[in-house]
Structure 1
Amino acid sequence: MTAPSEGEHPGLTGEEFLEKLRGMRIRAQSPDRSVRVVFGFGGTSVELASTGSAGHTEDSLGKQISAALEAAQHGYQRAMPMLLAQARGRPVPDPSRPPERDPRFAAFSKAIGGLAVESVSPRGLVRVRREGSTGVAVEIRRGALRRGTDGDEDLIAEINAAVQGADEEYGRKFEVADVNHLREEN
């Protein structure tokens, strides 16, 4: 094995790549800072700020959660090309510049652009829809902030259950889209 020449990087082993992927955490906040999201290999977690749902209606809280989830998805999409470049031993791209698009990636992006899933929380208080690679819409049932839950902890459990359900269904559909895309390439 030869040493990498100037400008080349040795890349990551499969184990190192998985370790970095498992350790990656994308944190995002809603525009009003009332919602925090942590997105990582183990799933997505939604938390409310110390003020909880105070000052929100079901619609406004749903919009803030949606915005935080979308911000986390965008963060993930910016981080993955950097991690993949590092794994392949290529220079890490500047995250402020749009990534160069390979024609195969454009076809794959089109395939996942049509993905749409929906999940409802166990008590039916929260509905999460995911569309494409970053679209997220969270709806909280009217009355859920006042009488449908036993406080913010119960509401957060409902939100996280709906988010997890949407993530799992999206993952299943993503794998099918990925497999079909790879078949079309060959």
Structure 2
Amino acid sequence: MIRKLAHVLAIGLAILVLYSLQKTRPGYGEITSPIAVAGKAGEKLSGRNFELTVTNIRLAREIRLTAFGKDRLYSTSGIWAVVEAEAAARHESITLTSAAWLGPDGVRYASSERLSNAPGLLTVQRLEPGLPSRALMIFEFPESEWQGGSILVAPTPFLALENEMHIAADLPAKAAIHPALALVRGSSSTDWSIATE
């Protein structure tokens, strides 16, 4: 009788150990996910292949942009976040094709493709080692997602074990949401200005 009870306890203990291992060990997705490099807006973050500094974040309800000779107004049911940054490659040329806004509830909003003709977009620039370039990232998301949000930047959205910058936006609770921002082109792809309307 004691021997049967010992076998039942041993089996129960083995099940408990296996269950705890299953729940506490990271899954394959977590093991091969991007390696986060965390920081705040205004700080220079360095990863293995690139460096990035978010220099300014502006919020707006509309964006005005002159493209192909026409003045266009882009509106949204949420808000726009226009993020100015400075980026450079570290060892070899690179293009950072993944930029997203991570809301406080964990939802990712990829950089907007509606303004793909805006000047200086980070996701289309070729970065060279030692040559910092000005860049823009433009996001569109619900108004409830800007407080406590972060900017995520990586070489690609699918590359395992690559650095991904996690930049806390750190916007004040009463940050100004402008009625409109105008993106004005300069003489080159990295030359632009932003005017508040």
Tell me the TM-score normalized by structure 2.
0.25
Question: Larger RCO: Structure 1 or Structure 2 (Cα < 8 Å, ≥ 6 residues apart)?
Answer: 2
Tell me the TM-score normalized by structure 1.
0.26
In terms of fraction of residues, the more strand-rich structure is 2
Higher Rg of the two aligned structures: 2
In terms of fraction of residues, the more helix-rich structure is 1
